Amino acid sequence: MDISLLFRIAAIGILVAVLYQVLVRAGREDQAMMTTLAGLIIVLAMVIKEISELFTTVRTVFGL
Amino acid sequence: MEVIKIIGVAFIALIIVIILKQYKPEYTIYVSILVGALILLMVLDELTGIINLLQNIANKTNINSKFLGLLLKITGIAFLSEFAISICQDAGEGAIASKIEIGSKIIVIAMSIPIISSLLEIIIKILP
């Protein structure tokens, strides 16, 4: 639970944007779409892990 | 000291959101959710101290601990639903935010029924 997660998400976002442009220039639109989706799913997995940690902590703190 | 850390994290996230908004707007929602969770987790440690203090006071003044537990649950629900509501509004989805709000209000009312009923009993006893 630290700030490196934020930087990782920013890096993945920019990487996917660059990859998308490169693949579109190379004429492979479908693979470009795949990389965008893959990037989204990776970041989603990271965010969900953090959210579940938050929910379990709140549950233990408040006795929910 | 803790506030400085929170403000620092918020500003870092703000810069990242602004950068990402040009290239990939859909990643900004991820960053805002993550920084929200990060700051809340930082703050939760102090919250446990406050809750322990409340419990000590409740034990001393022999308030019914069931009510205090219920109050803590309700604050937890408010804490989480406010987290979700602000993120939904930030993303521009006011409808989803209002649905979360309505849902959490109903759950809070449903949970506070025991308190209301015991309050009514007390009032009825007082009345001549």
Q: Are B49 and B97 within one domain?
A: yes
Q: Are B38 and B51 within one domain?
A: no
Name residues of chain A where pLDDT drops below 70: 1
Q: Are B38 and B53 within one domain?
A: no
Q: Are B35 and B49 within one domain?
A: no
Chain A: residue nearest B6 by CA?
A: A3
**Predicted local distance difference test score (pLDDT) of residue A1:** 63
Count interface pairs A-B at CB distance under 8 A: 86
Per-residue pLDDT of B76-120, as tens digits, reads 999 999 999 999 999 999 999 999 999 999 999 999 998 899 889
Range of the domain at B79: 45-128
pLDDT at B11 exceeding the cut of 80 = yes
Q: Are B55 and B38 within one domain?
A: no
Q: Are B92 and B30 within one domain?
A: no
Q: Are B53 and B1 within one domain?
A: no
Across the interface, do B9 and A3 touch by the CB < 8 Å criterion? yes
CA dist., res. B63 & res. B53, Å (int): 14
Per-residue burial over B58-94, b if 16 or more Cβ lie within 10 Å, else e, is beeeeeeeeebebbbbbebbebbbebbbebbeeeeee
Burial bucket for residue B95 (CB in 10 Å: 0-12, 13-18, 19+): exposed
Q: Are B109 and B125 within one domain?
A: yes
Nearest CA-CA distance, residue B71 and chain A, Å: 9
Which of B16, B80, B55, B95 shows the shortest CA–CA distance to A54?
Answer: B80
Q: Are B49 and B28 within one domain?
A: no
Q: Are B69 and B85 within one domain?
A: yes
Q: Are B50 and B113 within one domain?
A: yes
Give the amino acid at B63.
I
Q: Are B56 and B117 within one domain?
A: yes
Number of domains comprising chain B: 2
pLDDT at B125 exceeding the cut of 90 = yes
The CA-atom distances, in angstroms, between B127 and each of B73, B115, B117, B121 are 31, 19, 15, 10
**Predicted local distance difference test score (pLDDT) of residue B36:** 92
Per-residue pLDDT of B34-89, as tens digits, reads 999 999 998 888 889 999 998 888 888 877 778 888 989 999 999 999 999 999 99
A13, A55, A61 ranked by CB distance to B27: nearest: A13
Across the interface, do B16 and A10 touch by the CB < 8 Å criterion? yes
Which of A50, A38, B60 shows the shortest CA–CA distance to B68?
Answer: B60
Contacting residues of B for A57, CB less than 8 Å apart: 41, 44
